[in-house]
Structure 1
Amino acid sequence: MAACISSSPSLFLFSSNFVRTHGEKPTSLSWSSSFPQLKLSLNFFPSPSTLTLNQGFIVQAAWTRRSRGELAKKPNRKSWKQKTDMYMRPFLLNVFFSKRFIHAKVMHRGTSKVISVATTNSKDLRNTLPSLTDVNACRVVGKLIAERSKEADVFAMSYEARKDERIEGRLGIVLDTIKENGIIFV
């Protein structure tokens, strides 16, 4: 009894005597002995000139690199850094300077939960500080952020400067004060 696997009857003909029954024991214990013994001759294989694409013998690549045109079609695809940065540096410092106040907060990136906040607009600082936007106010805000972050068990955070933003002046003073009070910037 012969079985045919392919679409053409002359290809891959083999007999059913390679199937082992349950009662037979293998003659060898090597891994190659576990494979069925096929008796094929080269006469059954067609020549390469007779193969066509319709028969499915030519294997085409299953996966290829995306072309630039395909990248342009999916502009919202995130890079590796964008996908993993939230887990590598989970706490992010935001500092905002308005004309009248200084606001700073530490957020958890994954949950968007605010860990600590310090602003010169709060009642206790608004009445005690002579100026709410000068260098002394920057130092007070930096010290408060550091203390409140430590209370929340956050000892490392990151700051991402905006486009064309330099870390100098009042922003530099806030960041330096936070570092001086025991917070590590990663």
Structure 2
Amino acid sequence: MAEYISSTERRKARVRRALRAAANGRARLSVHRSSKQIYAQIIDDTHGRTLAQASSLEKDLREKLKTGADIEAAKVVGKLIAERAIAAGVKEVVFDRGAFIYHGRIKALADAAREGGLDF
């Protein structure tokens, strides 16, 4: 029997398939947003390892931010993930937005990561 796959899962798979084709060995900047928080990871898919991560749940950010669910939080997380990626030796990445539209908090995080020194 065929298994039902949601449109969100299909969109995420389509984005990841295109990223694998375009990656050329670069690490992946994966972003997830929930209704209350935003998360980012730098993932090395060749070794299956997370090289750096940042989220609005971190203690120092929770104290600084009003909420983890706004554009300001996304900008702070974007700058933080860029700092940590560069410290881990990663400058070039491919941006994995998952099933999320490149708009709002996702776009703010990507722009802040670019300003922080990541190239994608």
TM-score scaled to structure 2, two decimals? 0.76
Q: Distance in 2 between matches of 1:130 and 1:140?
A: 12
Give the aligned partner of residue 118 of structure 1: 54
3-state secondary structure, aligned to 1:100: coil
Q: Match of 1:95, as an amino acid? A: V
3-state secondary structure, aligned to 1:96: strand
Cα offset, 1:122, TM superposition: 1.2
Q: Distance in 1 between matches of 2:22 and 2:102?
A: 22
Q: Match of 1:148, as an amino acid? A: R
1:156 aligns with 2:92: yes
Q: Highest CA radius of gyration, 1 or 2?
A: 1
Cα offset, 1:166, TM superposition: 2.6
Of the candidates 158, 162, 174, which is equivalent to residue 109 of structure 2? 174
Structure ranking higher on relative contact order (CA contacts 8 Å, 6+ apart): 2
Structure 1 residue runs of 4 or more that deviate by more than 3 Å after TM superposition:
84-87, 160-163
Q: Distance in 1 between matches of 2:78 and 2:49?
A: 19
Of the candidates 69, 72, 80, which is equivalent to residue 133 of structure 1? 69
Task: Please list every run of 5 or more consecutive structure 1 residues that lacks an aligned counterpart in the other structure.
Answer: 1-80
Q: Distance in 2 between matches of 1:154 and 1:100?
A: 28
Q: Match of 1:137, as an amino acid? A: A
Deviations 1:67-123 (A, max 9, x none): xxxxxxxxxxxxxx88x7487143001111112111111100111111111011111
Q: Distance in 1 between matches of 2:65 and 2:39?
A: 15
TM-score scaled to structure 1, two decimals? 0.51
More strand by share: 2
Count of matched residue positions in the alignment of Structure 1 and Structure 2 = 103
Identical aligned pairs, as a percentage? 29
Task: Please list every run of 5 or more consecutive structure 2 residues that lacks an aligned counterpart in the other structure.
Answer: 1-16
